[in-house]
Structure 1
Amino acid sequence: MAVKSTKAGGLPSIKSTVNQLIKSKQVRQNMVNLYRVNKHNGFDCPGCAWGDEKDGTFRFCENGAKAVAWESTELTVGPEFFAQHTVSELNKQSDHWLEGQGRLTHPLRYNAQSDRYEPISWDDAFALVADKLKSLHSPDELELYTSGRASNEASFIYQMFGRAFGSNNFPDCSNMCHEASGIALNQSIGVGKGTVVLKDFTLADTIFVYGQNPGTNHPRMLNALRAAAKRGATIVSVNNLKEVGLQKFASPQKPAELLGLETVQISSRYVSPKLGGDYAVARGMAKAIFANHADKIDSSFVDDHTAGFAEYQTVVESTSWEAIEQQSGLDKATLEELAMLFVASSKTISTWAMGITQHLYSVETIKEIVSLHLLTGALGLPGAGLSPVRGHSNVQGNRTMGILESPKPDFNQRMKDTFGFNPPEKPGHRVYDMLAALHAKQSRVLICLGGNIVAANADTPFTTASVGNAELLVSIATKLNRTHVTAKHDALLLPCLGRTEVDMQASGNQAITVEDTFSMVHGSTGTTEPQSDNIKSETEIIARIAAHTLGENTPVNWQALIDNYDNIRDLIAKVIPGFDDMNEKIAEPGGFHLYNAAANREWKNQAGKALFNTNALPEHLFSDNVLARIKQQSQPVFTMQTLRSHDQYNTTIYGMNDRYRGVFGERNIVFMNAEDLARLNIQEGALVDIETVWSDDVVRKVTRFKALSYDIPQGNVASYYPEANPLVPFHSVGKLSATPTSKAVPVKITPVAVIH
């Protein structure tokens, strides 16, 4: 078994942070950066979206330090680098190696004949994009992808440009992670965001943590959980793997804990359901509440604020314990215990991440979690509510700014009133639609505002082929990544500023804004000098593409927006509700909070009420066609999930270690239950091949992965992404959400034959 850490944080976190600073070759500058990160008049961490109070000496975690040092590095990648490497050669390198080469410093154009990126002037690059867009037969042939790192200002003018051009094709990284959260919450409570703020974690009596690993994915969350545990709150972790960060945590900012003299027990109760079993877990809890705790149901809240209660009660009570136990992997007694903990107080928070959202029935699962809160009225009270924990730092703000494929009529009307053009009304593309359209050559141009779509998405061969079909691939980026070396035709690499860097325009150094997972909007201002005079801000790059493309049909003075981002924020205030006086509000320490109707028990959905989930528990977690293929197999079929290592954030791989899980120097790993290893007669550390079992005839297989035993339910396995992404079928997506089902992939595992 991998020898994993016994606690998260502590001195190893400090050592890891120092190592990253040394690797950046800008130790002094990055020490200054870390002092300024997540503070008023500082810059927002380019990592996760967890919120902060914006005070105190230090406001960063180990992975935040990695993100800052990874961005603010002395290493550079310019024309001389590409003169030495063809794109085909670069595509053979690892994801870690590609990003580790340093910051992009010059605009570059891919030459398909020489298979190299070559220098191009900024003006020629903008003209090239404009000429190609003007040649399209329809605006629908343009895809405008957005990463969750883009600022509110960049996202706003990006969508303004796209809609002025005539397209609603705004796929973004939310489509691959929390899309189900937005859909389920919008339908259930009328707001597609969480209802709690950071202060609620200081008031909650009970916190349920579903399907997430904060020790790796958003470590600053552990400070909130640590404080809650120390004051006596009950924390219940419902997670497929036993993750050390949800068990014990030693805050690196507390001397006694840093030195190993003290640790804090995070979870009062930790249960590990089967992959995809969280729907049944929540349904079992509801069934136990009706049977054993009917007196805890808040009848006044149910009567005044909800609809569908009777139907919900009927469907819950008709669900058999046999089905619940079989699907969840937990027994009735355990689920009754969880129900008892849930109803112990109305001050209960439920928080979740991609362990919930990347399944076939993710939307229904989240609706079932919402329904538990509706039963007890644990919504719209201090210390109570719903908290989907978003990933990248401004992924929530991107959506608020209009990065969505199907805007509501009132948004379109405000766009028309402000800019004088009629925005397109036909729904556009999400990531799934975009890749399908590119694969079929129905879309011709892909512009990526940050991100690494090839490494991030499922079914790597399919995704690679889709992106490779783009007649023009434009990447606005800080570093080289897998998407850039997928180019087959024409492509541009346009280097942009990072969060840490000065953005000097005509009116001075510009601030941008972001929105965290608690709907707090705050400013971010870089102070590090850019690595090259040839680097431009995301905002300027987008504005100049728009100006070149739209010409006389432009709705705004793009140069004025470039010169002073206050002008962009004045436009945001006219279009986006809640952003009145935006420039004045972001000058306040901590920024401002966006009003949340559901948190105030106002229901803005179609029904005008908070809705219970009235769907039946599905009989199976795979489609009938897939189940038929599974039954045909002569060997055991496991359910696999992809996950991150500790030295990783999204597709950025900082190193080859996973300290908390006891893995060092490698990434081709599959974690398995010890009894499953014995059943297959596989020795600890042996090499195996992993192949997907699916309803089509496509072979999806990865080879020579090391099998390690881990505390995971029998029948379930886990591997790192992007290495395991080739196993996730492109068409295996969540119902309604179209999100890759990366946490539920049926696979068979075969030992690699030993050649003597």
Structure 2
Amino acid sequence: MSDPKIPGVRDYDAPAGGWGALKAVAGALADQETVIEGGKTLLRANQPEGFDCPGCAWPDPKHTSSFEFCENGAKAVAWEATTKRATPEVFARHTVSELLTWSDHQIEDLGRLTEPMAYDPADDRYKAIPWDEAFSRAGAALKALSDPNQAEFYASGRASNEAAFLYQLLGRRFGTNNFPDCSNMCHEPTSVGLPDSIGLGKGSVTLEDFDHADLILCFGHNPGTNHPRMMATLREASRRGATILAFNPLKERSLERFASPQDAVEMATLGSTPIASAYYQVTIGGDAMLVQGMMKALLAMEAQGGGVLDHAFIAEHTAGFEALMAQLEALDWSVIEAGSGLSRARIEEAAVVYAKSKAAILCYGMGLTQHRDSSGTVQQLVNLLLLKGNIGRPGAGICPLRGHSNVQGARTVGVWEKPPAALLDSLRDVFGFEPPRVHGHTVVEAIAAMEQGRAKVFVGLGGNFAVAAPDPTRTFAAMRQLDMAVHIATKPNRTHLLVGKAALLLPCLGRTEMDMRGGVRQSVTVEDSMSMVHASRGLNPPASEHLLSEPAIVAGLAETVFGRDPLIDWGGLANDYDAVRALIAGVFPSAFADYNDRVRVPGGFRLPVGPSDRVWRTASGKANFLVFDPKGGDPRRGDPDVLLLTTLRSHDQYNTTVYGQDDRYRGVFGRRDVVFANPDDMARLGLEAGAKVDLLAAFDDGGARIARGFTLVARDIPPGCLAAYYPETNVVIALDDHDLRSGTPAYKSAPVRLRKHEAGLN
């Protein structure tokens, strides 16, 4: 459906993966000037004695594969293992004001940070300072606060378990639970919704379960771009005869067909493997209604002939079935069709496939979790599985697809703004201080606190906080009001340039680099999206002799703030990660017992997952069927001229990091300033393909939230829906527009209006 007259937009007919992937890997290595060393580095990715890929959290097959990395993982490695350096001399040539005019790609492409630096407001530049001065400035800013809750400790999912544990220990020893983290912006509805349903905010499946599933349901995710190593698993499932159903507003190439770069025959013959057996293009935000339609159809089938529902499982292991059944019986099909954007016939078709399956896995991504009622939507997915007993047996279960490589692990070891009492009690018992009990800030709440002057110091453990967050109109201004921002990072990014009164850049080692502490080569650990914990050891020389590891930086901050701490030997922990893991085991004895011994076994170990064993740690002691109770309301507010925008990541991107300007699976090359629209909507609004348009936040009274100068591209997307790239379109997503339970911003369903671009406006 591409228009050949639009520059940089053309049809892409090749499968996902294949020769296109290999060419892109070669290009990424060359672009980062790390072809030879980068190639060597890739061969150690995801190996028992190597490092864990800094990309997605998809697990490794028993962590013993000889060639287990993917295109986007290779790009992530090349981006980190680059030979480009953002030295103090580079910053001397460019003011912060000038750097702010650069693209996000250009800023990060400066390369690896090499020395600690402080912002000099008189010169508008970052300048090198020694580590002891950097720690002293950061510590002084924290100690000057009149209330510990004036500090925000942000954490990215790139941090290891060891760094994340020390980080939460630092914050709680300081006296706050303000731990806004990247999970708040992606899978927080999973962390909030699943515990009420099954007693744990994580998935229930293992990688081996995919070998036994005869049906895989894929909701709201694009694995070829966002978790590409999953494609090998889906390909194997398809080739052995499993049925795969895809539910997404846009058809994604990787869920249509895939060619494995590691399959010599497929590559030599230019062949590919079909992935999805059927594609259901649900309207944006319509997943909960779609799933309710499938459940309503299942109940009808059960009433007609029986044998569909697992009554024994429902009776023994669940609660709330009658309430759910009553709600579904009262739900009219016209409401389901309008809410899902699919016909009753198509929904019943999917329900029949599910009814006939023997073991089903349901996978979902941020296409489900970034709406106003996402926590409730996640619970509807669980309801569908519970009807047929598809949790807690081989080949069946729920599979949230986490993004960053250790976002799940950081939460497990305590980076959580709403810590359970048991965690705080355990910290008290192990360390001898009373942790704060008041819940802290999510990302959205932290930004509001900065705006209002209630948050004065920001410490960031990785990430690109302000660019990842919604509503840059407010977020950027909030960052500029801070007394101090401390950024622990491998590369510069736009958030580092949003300086307030003072700012520090503290350069850290990357996952690929050797970490020598106390004369010993250290290893760190991470948890993948299926609760497997394994070790990661870098092998490259550090990018600079001045780099410190994340655990060492966190410990250095703590030593500055607390001085000679009688309760915690921060310096000792910085030099001995085994000692850190021993403390993690002390705080979480049921999960991490014998941590150091078990993590040294190739492949690591799996944390306890109650639902896998049909152990339900809920108030009822059972898995709960939960009725969908939407609170978010209609984002369009009944206005037919309002469209819903879903934000996308391109195939040349990982989170906020933009590697390049191509998105080849969607047929976009050399640009990102496009918006995909339904042709009928374009005609209704008097617009045509190739037109320049502005996207306006639909209900923004101030009129400031506008994404300008985008090019319309006709695409097969449901009526009333638009799609454009993140983070460029974050400007139309209001800070207050989020899932009401978890606080996750509604990046995937922003109400917008389209209008012809007004030339001359910025």
TM-score by length of 2: 0.96
Which deviates more from structure 2 when the two are superposed, residues 635-644 or residues 280-289? Answer: 635-644
Are 2:66 and 1:61 aligned? Answer: no
Aligned residue number for residue 589 of structure 1: 602
Helix, strand or coil at the partner of 2:324: helix
Are 2:32 and 1:12 aligned? Answer: no
Q: Is the 8 A contact 1:502 1:530 kept in 2?
A: yes
Q: Is the 8 A contact 1:195 1:596 kept in 2?
A: yes
Aligned residue number for residue 515 of structure 1: 527
Aligned residue number for residue 600 of structure 1: 613
Q: In the aligned structure 2, how far is the partner of 1:554 from the partner of 1:19? A: 52
Q: 1:609 aligns with which of 622, 630, 637?
A: 622
Q: In the aligned structure 1, how far is the partner of 2:703 from the partner of 2:534? A: 47
The alpha carbon displacement at 1:414 in A equals: 1.1
Q: In the aligned structure 2, how far is the partner of 1:310 from the partner of 1:618? A: 22
Aligned residue number for residue 171 of structure 2: 162
Q: Is the 8 A contact 1:11 1:259 kept in 2?
A: no
Change over 3 Å in CA distance of 1:140–1:484 after alignment to 2 = same
The alpha carbon displacement at 1:682 in A equals: 2.5
Helix, strand or coil at the partner of 1:749: strand
The alpha carbon displacement at 1:90 in A equals: 0.5
Q: What amino acid maps onto 2:278 in structure 1?
A: R
Q: Is the 8 A contact 1:284 1:336 kept in 2?
A: yes
Are 2:158 and 1:149 aligned? Answer: yes
Q: In the aligned structure 2, how far is the partner of 1:717 from the partner of 1:700? A: 17
Give CA-to-partner distance per residue, 1:187-231, whole Å, 9 cap, x none: 110010000010111110100000000010011111111100000
Q: In the aligned structure 2, how far is the partner of 1:376 from the partner of 1:57? A: 38
Aligned residue number for residue 671 of structure 2: 666
Aligned residue number for residue 437 of structure 1: 449
Q: In the aligned structure 1, how far is the partner of 2:259 from the partner of 2:109? A: 30
Q: 1:290 aligns with which of 273, 285, 299?
A: 299
Q: 1:241 aligns with which of 250, 253, 258?
A: 250
Aligned counterparts, 1:220-619, within 5 A: 220-294=229-303, 295=306, 296-576=308-588, 577-616=590-629
Give CA-to-partner distance per residue, 1:96-153, whole Å, 9 cap, x none: 0000110000100011221111111100111111111111011000100000000000
The alpha carbon displacement at 1:616 in A equals: 4.5
Q: In the aligned structure 1, how far is the partner of 2:701 from the partner of 2:13? A: 41
Q: In the aligned structure 1, how far is the partner of 2:710 from the partner of 2:644? A: 16
Aligned residue number for residue 95 of structure 2: 86
Q: Is the 8 A contact 1:438 1:466 kept in 2?
A: yes
Q: Is the 8 A contact 1:315 1:614 kept in 2?
A: yes
Give CA-to-partner distance per residue, 1:493-541, whole Å, 9 cap, x none: 0000001101111141110000000100000000100111111111100
Q: Is the 8 A contact 1:728 1:742 kept in 2?
A: yes
Q: In the aligned structure 2, how far is the partner of 1:713 from the partner of 1:260? A: 35
Give CA-to-partner distance per residue, 1:660-713, whole Å, 9 cap, x none: 011011111101112222333323222111111116434310111011111211
Q: 2:42 aligns with which of 9, 34, 41?
A: 34
Runs of 4+ that moved beyond 4 A: 616-620
The alpha carbon displacement at 1:410 in A equals: 1.3
Aligned residue number for residue 643 of structure 1: 648
Helix, strand or coil at the partner of 1:293: helix
Aligned residue number for residue 132 of structure 1: 141
The total of aligned residue pairs comes to 747
Aligned residue number for residue 6 of structure 2: none
Q: Is the 8 A contact 1:147 1:451 kept in 2?
A: yes
Change over 3 Å in CA distance of 1:160–1:619 after alignment to 2 = closer
Q: In the aligned structure 1, how far is the partner of 2:341 from the partner of 2:309? A: 26
Aligned residue number for residue 5 of structure 2: none
Helix, strand or coil at the partner of 2:106: helix
Q: In the aligned structure 2, how far is the partner of 1:606 from the partner of 1:555? A: 36
Give CA-to-partner distance per residue, 1:239-280, whole Å, 9 cap, x none: 110111110000010012223432111001111011000010
Q: What amino acid maps onto 1:87 in structure 2?
A: V
Aligned residue number for residue 748 of structure 1: 753
The alpha carbon displacement at 1:618 in A equals: 6.8
The alpha carbon displacement at 1:489 in A equals: 1.4
The alpha carbon displacement at 1:607 in A equals: 1.8
Q: Is the 8 A contact 1:360 1:621 kept in 2?
A: no
Helix, strand or coil at the partner of 2:459: strand
Q: In the aligned structure 2, how far is the partner of 1:201 from the partner of 1:14? A: 26
Q: Is the 8 A contact 1:11 1:260 kept in 2?
A: no
Q: In the aligned structure 2, how far is the partner of 1:647 from the partner of 1:672? A: 21
Q: In the aligned structure 1, how far is the partner of 2:425 from the partner of 2:226? A: 38
Are 2:661 and 1:656 aligned? Answer: yes
Which deviates more from structure 2 when the two are superposed, residues 110-119 or residues 142-151? Answer: 110-119
Change over 3 Å in CA distance of 1:230–1:420 after alignment to 2 = same
Q: Is the 8 A contact 1:71 1:103 kept in 2?
A: yes
Helix, strand or coil at the partner of 2:92: helix
Helix, strand or coil at the partner of 2:230: helix
Change over 3 Å in CA distance of 1:686–1:554 after alignment to 2 = farther
Gaps of 5+ in 2: 3-9
Q: What amino acid maps onto 2:706 in structure 1?
A: K
Helix, strand or coil at the partner of 1:578: helix
Q: Is the 8 A contact 2:513 2:542 kept in 1?
A: yes
Aligned counterparts, 1:702-713, within 5 A: 702-713=707-718
The alpha carbon displacement at 1:552 in A equals: 3.5
Aligned residue number for residue 197 of structure 1: 206
The alpha carbon displacement at 1:620 in A equals: 4.5
Q: In the aligned structure 2, how far is the partner of 1:223 from the partner of 1:240? A: 23
Percent of counterpart pairs with the same letter?
45
Helix, strand or coil at the partner of 1:25: coil
The alpha carbon displacement at 1:24 in A equals: 2.0
Q: In the aligned structure 1, how far is the partner of 2:629 from the partner of 2:133? A: 57
Q: What amino acid maps onto 2:628 in structure 1?
A: N
CA RMSD of aligned residues (A): 1.4
Q: In the aligned structure 2, how far is the partner of 1:61 from the partner of 1:708? A: 29
Q: What amino acid maps onto 1:238 in structure 2?
A: F
Q: What amino acid maps onto 1:391 in structure 2?
A: G
Q: Is the 8 A contact 2:376 2:629 kept in 1?
A: no
Q: In the aligned structure 2, how far is the partner of 1:542 from the partner of 1:115? A: 27
Q: What amino acid maps onto 1:256 in structure 2?
A: V
Q: In the aligned structure 2, how far is the partner of 1:551 from the partner of 1:309? A: 56
The alpha carbon displacement at 1:563 in A equals: 1.4
Q: In the aligned structure 2, how far is the partner of 1:293 from the partner of 1:12? A: 47
Aligned residue number for residue 734 of structure 1: 739
Helix, strand or coil at the partner of 1:125: helix
Q: What amino acid maps onto 1:396 in structure 2?
A: Q
Gaps of 5+ in 1: none
